[in-house]
Structure 1
Amino acid sequence: MNSDAPILVEFYASWCGPCMMVHRIIDEIASEYAGRVSCFILNTDTDFPVAEVYNIMAVPVVLLFKNGERKESVVGTMPKEYYIAAIERILKS
């Protein structure tokens, strides 16, 4: 998680309907912010130990990191603008 560029991690599960909606949004954002934000996805069913480290108890959850520190958390399904606002806050910090 140590990177000069902000890192976005999307926590999801394959059985989670709302996760699929969030994934489409994050996929668009990843294209729009390519080179400025690194985006990753993590399946909480197969990567449970990592999810546990970040206390992910439900999905979907999007965490944003900068310089190795967790800066923003978005829990649940939100409009695209909500995720973009969180990213912009981190880019400006």
Structure 2
Amino acid sequence: MAIEVTDANFEEVVLNSDKPVLVDFWAAWCGPCRMLAPIVEELDKDFDSKAKIVKVDVDAHQEFAAKYGVRNIPTVLIFKGGEVADKQVGVAPKNVYTEKLNALL
């Protein structure tokens, strides 16, 4: 299951990771976010040891959503080496996320 990341551990889990990290910025009330959730869980299984797949609830943890300019949700940011390497706003098919992650492996 994708790791829930908070403002307190975002730097440790995401920015200091030695693997690419897909971060799903979401909220419980967001319909498209609920549509993306099963895709995120599949990606977590598919990239088990190759990349980290994490989720940030923007209602509870706003610091990094604001820092990275997340205005619409769902927004997926993919980090590599502590920097944003790719971005997807809105729901996309699973293969879009897979291709983005594979490009960074």
Q: Shared fold by TM > 0.5?
A: yes
Which structure 1 residue ranges, 4+ long, deviate > 4 Å from structure 2?
Answer: none
Gaps of 5+ in 2: 1-14
Instruction: Give a deviation string over 1:37-93, Cα, whole Å, max 9, x none.
Output: 1111001111112210111001001110111111000110100011101001111xx
Question: Corresponding residue for 2:81?
Answer: 67
Residue identity over aligned pairs, in percent, reads 35
Assess if the C-alpha contact under 8 Å between 1:2 and 1:66 holds in 2: no
- Aligned pair count reads 91
TM-score (norm 2): 0.83
Assess if the C-alpha contact under 8 Å between 1:64 and 1:72 holds in 2: yes
1:82 to 75, 93, 96: 96
1:26 to 15, 40, 60: 40
Q: Distance in 1 between matches of 2:28 and 2:91?
A: 15
Deviation at 1:23, TM superposition (A): 1.2
TM-score (norm 1): 0.94
Answering whether residue 25 of structure 2 is matched by residue 11 of structure 1, we say yes
RMSD, matched Cα: 0.8
